[in-house]
Amino acid sequence: MLLHILARGRIGRGPEADLVDRYMKRIAWPWRVTELPDRGGRVPAQEPGTVLIVLDEKGRDLPSTDLAHRLGRWRDDGRREARFVIGAADGHAPALRDEADLLLAFGQATWPHLLARAMLAEQLWRATSILAGHPYHRDG
């Protein structure tokens, strides 16, 4: 299953980009990061079987193990892509929220898109390492 981060805003070069690269390169699953301008731009078409996960401050705050189990279940169900959408400063359109299979939050705080992208990359590494039985994640 492809892990696809679709992010509004350009990350450029800097410590946030280094963090994203560091975690994404560790992931054994296929992955892609697509950057779009804050408004507009061509959103890649969704293939059938895509799971849409929208990062939103009003979303569910899932423990890492729960996110891992969801990814594993989607993978095992034959889903082709898990698309994680990070919005720009103004957030997401209501229609995108309504379309989402999961609204995901990293706590109740609002995070800048650069940090949200780094945090998501780490959580994807953590989730895939949990599923692989890697000792990176420690419970308790």
Give the tens place of pLDDT for each residue, 72-97: 999 999 999 999 999 876 778 888 88
Q: Residue 35: inside a domain, yes or no? A: yes
**What CATH code is carried by the domain that includes residue 68?**
3.40.1280.10
Split into its structural domains, the chain has a count of 1
Q: Residue 79: inside a domain, yes or no? A: yes
Q: Residue 8: inside a domain, yes or no? A: yes
Domain containing residue 39: 2-131
Q: Residue 27: inside a domain, yes or no? A: yes
| Cα–Cα distance, 82 to 51 (Å, whole number) | 5
Residues, the chain: 140
Q: Residue 63: inside a domain, yes or no? A: yes
Token pair 């849409």 is at which residue? 52
Q: Residue 136: inside a domain, yes or no? A: no
**Digit-coded pLDDT (tens) for 96-126:** 889 999 999 998 888 888 889 999 999 999 9
Q: What is the reported pTM?
A: 0.90
| Cα–Cα distance, 64 to 138 (Å, whole number) | 10
